[in-house]
């Protein structure tokens, strides 16, 4: 299993390289990945349990002859009501986000390290395609509205920074978990 690191990486033997990376990574990496996987499993189980408690499965089905929309709405089938999830449901959703972000970031980080030349070529091709589409279709960025709304470029830049920080703060569990996972996957054990 450790011999997979010595042979050249090909798409046919990716699973062996990934498995050998998981085996030889440091203990604290392994422990963090186990915690992330437990968060994913616990999040899925807790979310499913909370959803089953919040939405009972006893739905009355109308008789076979009354398949009209009015018969369905009279019996309350299809009503969209917002139901408050219990605390376990709320916590499990966040645990699932964090755990899935760490695991997803780990996989993406490992793929970036394993196929760094290919990934750089893909990113370069995507950037060139976007620039080509913008150039050949005549699309350009119209910043005249920005000039009217903001008195100086520094005010605009500070406003964009504040908006980016707010977005990052709202997505912090996912972003932070993904960054930690990408670090663990990219770092060679």
Predicted pLDDT of residue 47: 87
Predicted pLDDT of residue 26: 86
Domains: count for the chain = 2
Whether residue 170 is contained in a domain is answered as: no
Predicted pLDDT of residue 142: 61
Do residue 101 and residue 159 come from a single domain?
A: no
Do residue 143 and residue 95 come from a single domain?
A: no
d(CA 150, CA 107): 42
The three-point CA angle 145-131-164 to 5° equals 50
Do residue 129 and residue 51 come from a single domain?
A: no
Do residue 149 and residue 101 come from a single domain?
A: no
pLDDT tens-digit series, residues 4-42: 444 556 667 777 777 887 888 888 888 999 999 999 999
Distances (CA, A) of 74 to 34, 54, 58, 62, 129: 49, 22, 16, 10, 54
Report yes or no: 74 and 153 within 8 Å, Cβ to Cβ: no
Taking alpha carbons only, the member of 24, 51, 33 closest to residue 180 is 33
d(CA 34, CA 12): 26
Winning range, highest mean pLDDT, from 76-80, 119-123, 126-130: 126-130
Predicted pLDDT of residue 45: 93
Do residue 36 and residue 7 come from a single domain?
A: yes
């Amino acid at each position: 299993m450790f011999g997979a690191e010595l042979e050249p990486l090909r798409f046919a033997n990716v699973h062996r390289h990934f498995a050998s990376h998981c085996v030889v990574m440091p203990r604290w990496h392994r422990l963090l990945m186990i915690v992330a996987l437990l968060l994913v499993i616990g999040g899925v189980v807790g979310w499913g349990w909370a959803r089953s408690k919040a939405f009972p499965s006893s739905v009355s089905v109308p008789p076979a002859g009354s398949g009209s929309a009015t018969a369905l709405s009279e019996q309350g089938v299809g009503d969209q009501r917002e139901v408050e999830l219990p605390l376990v449901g709320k916590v499990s959703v966040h645990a699932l986000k964090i755990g899935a972000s760490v695991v997803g970031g780990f996989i993406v980080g490992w793929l970036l390290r394993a196929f760094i030349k290919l990934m750089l070529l893909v990113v370069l091709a995507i950037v060139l395609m976007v620039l080509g589409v913008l150039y050949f279709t005549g699309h350009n960025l119209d910043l005249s509205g920005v000039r009217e709304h903001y008195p100086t470029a520094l005010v605009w830049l500070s406003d964009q920074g504040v908006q980016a920080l707010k977005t990052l703060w709202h997505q912090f569990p996912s972003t932070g978990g993904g960054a930690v996972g990408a670090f663990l996957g990219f770092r060679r054990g």
